[in-house]
Amino acid sequence: MRNRPTGLAAGVVSAVLVGPLLVSAGCSGPSKQSSEFKNEASQRLDALKAGTEWELARQRYESGDFDQALQGVERSIALNPQVAKTHALKGRILVEMGRTQAAMESLARAIALDPDYAEAYFYRGLIFERIARFEAALDQYLLALEANPEHAQYVIASAEMLIRLERLDDAEALLVRSSDRHEFTAGIRQTLGHISTMRGQPEKAVRYFGEAQVLAPDDLSVLEDLAMAEMEAGYYAEAESHLEDIIEGQEKDGVQRRDLMHLLARCQMEQDELIDARQTLVALTRGRDGAADALAWTGLGTIAMRYNDDDLLHDAGERLIRLRPKRYEGYYFYALWEHSQGFSDRALQTVSSAIALEESDAMPLVLKAIILSEMGRDQDAAQEAAQALTRDPNNPEIRALAHQLGAE
């Protein structure tokens, strides 16, 4: 009988016998737990890569590089197709590329993944608004608001759509309900100001726009709304100050708004600040655009009458006759200049052209009556004065002229 191995010999035998078993076990593959760990790690890595691609796509979208943005967002979706915001971004990109149907499909996919993803509803609303489907746009904006009532933009978009649909009461009620939640949002008060303006309530609009301006002191659009409301309410001094601030702010950005310059001139004229108004209007008549600015030349003609500025009256009249031959103002200003120079016959002919083009302003008739009276044609002058009084019966100066000429 053979002896059993002991000591080192026994260890060798054990290793020989057990070794193949270990090798056999190793060849059977990784455990289930190890495989799941690897899958989770791979998914985490894909999600990380997808997030990076999404961020790069968003940056390219915001810079206007829509082709590259679309490629990036599609890579993000390929890595992780179950993220609502990625499909929503794709929808936004496709809209800018003019692929409206594909955009709607991407936004629908975002909503299917997350029915509470408010941004997808909001951008669907924007698409409907662009194609003038305003009721559908309103529905989407309201769904966005329901999904995320904390977002003031959804309140404002819904209210603006109600305004477009002429549902002012509903728009106002929505904004007022949201005022407490969005107490410090300028856009809420600005939109309430727009409603007040549409209702012909300028003083109420001034209050709302004023509150919005306090909340957004650097927003020139709010300041412009405030200035417009102040003009409507007759607060010309305040409007003038705010318009000057807007014009100065825009000039720093290299922008010149001629419409605001015109409004500034109107405020100055309403306050009899004629020197300032003349300066503003002269600036508007410079350059190529200024030479064709009939409104500015009309304002200068009006100031020239007040100041008896014959040279300016001549220039305004001559320019307006060329710019607006079917309007009466140029002929009226030029007739005033001719009369001031003693050219009575020519002035009579020119002012008759003004009268033929105008049916409401009494002043050309007054000028004609004065010219006729100076020419000794009192009966004709009385007829013109009587007609002027018919147009403006409450004007004391016209009434005095008509009485002097025996027209009453």
Percent of the chain at pLDDT > 70 equals: 88
Q: Are 174 and 190 in contact (CB under 8 A)?
A: no
| pLDDT value at residue 1 | 44
| pLDDT value at residue 41 | 59
Name the helix (H) or strand (E) containing 112: helix 100-113
Residues 6+ apart with CB under 8 A from 188: 152, 155, 156, 175, 178, 179, 182
Q: Give Cα 80 to chain centroid, integer Å.
A: 38
Percent of the chain at pLDDT > 90 equals: 79
At 123 the three-state DSSP class reads helix
Instruction: Indicate whether 16 pLDDT > 50.
Output: no
Distance CA 306, CA 366 (A): 16
Pick from 15-24, 28-37, 115-124 the range whose average pLDDT is largest. Answer: 115-124
| pLDDT value at residue 381 | 95
pLDDT tens digit string along 257-291? 999 999 999 999 999 999 999 999 999 999 999 99
| pLDDT value at residue 31 | 58
Among the listed residues 129, 102, 106, 128, the one whose alpha carbon sits nearest the alpha carbon of residue 117: 106
Distance CA 274, CA 204 (A): 30
| pLDDT value at residue 26 | 46
Q: How confident is the model at residue 225 (pLDDT cuts 50, 70, 90)?
A: very high
CA distances from 260 to 181, 228, 342 (A): 35, 10, 38
Distance CA 331, CA 135 (A): 50
Distance CA 123, CA 128 (A): 9
* pLDDT, the chain, mean: 89
| pLDDT value at residue 54 | 78
Distance CA 171, CA 141 (A): 13
Distance CA 378, CA 370 (A): 9
Distance CA 125, CA 127 (A): 5
Identify the DSSP state of 365.
H
| pLDDT value at residue 208 | 97
Instruction: Indicate whether 28 pLDDT > 90.
Output: no
| pLDDT value at residue 40 | 59
- Residues 388-402, mean pLDDT to the nearest whole number: 94
pLDDT tens digit string along 296-354? 999 999 999 998 899 999 999 999 999 999 999 999 999 999 999 999 999 999 999 99
| pLDDT value at residue 195 | 98
Q: How confident is the model at residue 10 (pLDDT cuts 50, 70, 90)?
A: very low
Q: What are the structure tokens assigned to 284, written together?
A: 């508007």
pLDDT tens digit string along 44-100? 675 688 778 878 988 998 999 999 999 998 999 998 899 999 999 999 999 999 999
- Residues 290-296, mean pLDDT to the nearest whole number: 95
- Residues 172-200, mean pLDDT to the nearest whole number: 95
Q: Are 330 and 319 in contact (CB under 8 A)?
A: yes
Distance CA 244, CA 261 (A): 9
| pLDDT value at residue 107 | 96
| pLDDT value at residue 255 | 79
| pLDDT value at residue 274 | 93
Sole residue written with tokens 């304002």 = 299
Distance CA 322, CA 301 (A): 14
Among the listed residues 227, 228, 268, the one whose alpha carbon sits nearest the alpha carbon of residue 245: 227
pTM: 0.78
Cβ neighbour number for residue 30 with a 10 Å cutoff: 11
Amino acid at 172: E
